[in-house]
Structure 1
Amino acid sequence: MVQNSSVVLEREGQLAHIRLARPEVLNALNTEMAEALLAACQDVASDSDVRVLLLSGEGRAFMAGGDLQDLRKDSVEAAKRILAPLQASISLLDSMQVPVVAQVHGAVAGAGLSLMMIADIVIASEDTRFSFAYSDIATSCDGGASWALPRLVGLRKSIEIAMLGEPLDPHEALKLGLLNRVVPASQLAQVTNRMVERLLTRDPFALKHLKYLLRTSLDRSLDSQLEEERDAFLQCVARPSFPVAIDRFFEARKSRREQI
């Protein structure tokens, strides 16, 4: 376990778990925490043994945005100190070659929403409340929110969410495409663990290519995407593990039929 006072990085086998750990302030992001988050992301990105990354928050919230007390004292310089490591973390999470799962609860606002949106899979408890929050404090957004939000919910709805700043409940967020699952708070950890365990059984080489193809698809033409898909598919089938996976697939299907 690698622990900073504001961020904890734990490893369990091939799972890496980054926990935001300022529960006394709902994990509000200050300079120290932004730097610790970046260090944790860099650690995970450089570890070839990691196959899934889980993000979560301690206490009553995932992250309630930036630390406004920290920002108010020395606005421009404080913002610069937070933004540089936050932006680097978001970029790393986007390009990371493993699935990133966010387990969220309580308040998810501002930078917390940005961090959640960059994850590949998001599971939320029914007590979660989402808020863009930036326009509430007379700022534009950060953490890639203006990049992720239109890709997830479309341009028109993004403008409404960003400009009006009205909170979203988890079921509305699910309908909009911000989330993958909404579960009772008592089942959040259990459902997340099942999702992580399922991802850990999938071939990491294939998942790496799938993540790359899907995350970069909106920046390419169809013809260009077809070429990227071809190259990735040929790399996958060229490996010795491919015919093994096919045999395993047929064996599993045969077993299911025999059980019927």
Structure 2
Amino acid sequence: MSYETLELDVRDGGIATLTMNRPDQLNALNEQVIDDLTAAVDELSGRDDVRVLVVTGKGRAFVAGADIKQMHGFEEAEAKAFADKGHAAMDALSKLPYPVIAAVNGFALGGGLELALACDLIYASDKARLGLPEVGLGIIPGFGGTQRLGRTIGWHHARELVFSGRHVKADEALRMGLVCAVFPAEEFIDKVYALAEKIAANGPVAVRVAKRVMREGSELPLDKANALERDSFGELFMTDDRSEGMQAFLEKREANFTGK
């Protein structure tokens, strides 16, 4: 399926790439982009051949924020509806069953950082700039930024970034724990794909279960989260991938996982 504002590609090995494709507008999020993102995530959720998704942007921005030209004319009801639509898209992305990597190649501001925060892992180019500058426009983050940022880097750093609206460079984002790693721009996407390939080479059932247990467990009391882990650990011993993975280890060869 083709989309007006983004590109979706699935390569051999189970790695999909979702590229935001409005480079002349720095990939700003408007209603069409959100609609396309929602549809693409729905398509991806139904594919059994995907093991990892990489989200990135075309040009010099990941996503530079929401489209202010469109939002400028909103009344309260329209703004709320736009936020509802954005939240639904980010939530759907975050709930994909396999790992989602944000490859932040440039500006990730406002809705762009919120998009990255909806992913499981964030990697940044050394040219990246990240922030939630909405208060400078007289609004607040509306696609989950006030909640996901604090859950990622801690509430003190999150409050400082939201209240000040300042941008941070990639190296500061790394120190904060906002990104997993920073790579030079000229080798950035190759480094990200190397990491994606490493994830995709592992047992896909186990990786999906690990994501689910970590996501669901983070919202449970520790004793219940540990019980979820124990149950899931045991259930994996009934899978073909577990048998293949352990047999391959004992035979000192690469495992041939089938996702079953």
Normalising by structure 2, we get a TM-score of 0.92
Aligned-pair CA distance for 1:92: 1.1
Alignment of 1:20-169 (within 5 A): 20-76=20-76, 78-169=78-169
| 1:148-204 Cα deviation digits (max 9, x unpaired) | 111111111111111011211101111111111100000111101101111111111
Aligned-pair CA distance for 1:240: 3.1
- CA distance, structure 2, for counterparts of residue 171 and residue 216 of structure 1: 30
Hey, what does 2:238 align to over in structure 1? 238
| 1:68-91 Cα deviation digits (max 9, x unpaired) | 011112344553453233211111
Aligned-pair CA distance for 1:243: 2.9
What amino acid is the match of 2:174?
A: L
1:173 and 2:168 are equivalent in the alignment: no
| 1:230-257 Cα deviation digits (max 9, x unpaired) | 111111112233232112223449xxxx
Instruction: Answer whether contact 2:16 2:54 (CA < 8 A) is retained.
Output: yes
Instruction: Answer whether contact 2:171 2:182 (CA < 8 A) is retained.
Output: yes
Hey, what does 1:258 align to over in structure 2? none
SS of residue matched to 2:218: helix
Alignment of 1:155-234 (within 5 A): 155-234=155-234
Instruction: Answer whether contact 1:31 1:81 (CA < 8 A) is retained.
Output: no
SS of residue matched to 1:10: strand
Instruction: Answer whether contact 1:31 1:78 (CA < 8 A) is retained.
Output: no
Larger mean Cα displacement after TM superposition, 159-168 or 69-78? 69-78
Aligned-pair CA distance for 1:3: 2.6
- CA distance, structure 1, for counterparts of residue 60 and residue 193 of structure 2: 19
Instruction: Answer whether contact 1:26 1:64 (CA < 8 A) is retained.
Output: yes
SS of residue matched to 1:11: strand
What amino acid is the match of 2:236?
A: C
Q: 1:77 to 1:9 in 2, by over 3 A?
A: farther
The runs of 5 or more residues in structure 1 that have no matched partner are: 254-260
What amino acid is the match of 1:10?
A: D
Instruction: Answer whether contact 2:26 2:62 (CA < 8 A) is retained.
Output: yes
Hey, what does 2:4 align to over in structure 1? 5
Normalising by structure 1, we get a TM-score of 0.92
CA RMSD between the two structures: 1.6
Higher helix share: 1
The runs of 5 or more residues in structure 2 that have no matched partner are: 254-260
- CA distance, structure 1, for counterparts of residue 200 and residue 37 of structure 2: 23
Instruction: Answer whether contact 1:34 1:82 (CA < 8 A) is retained.
Output: no
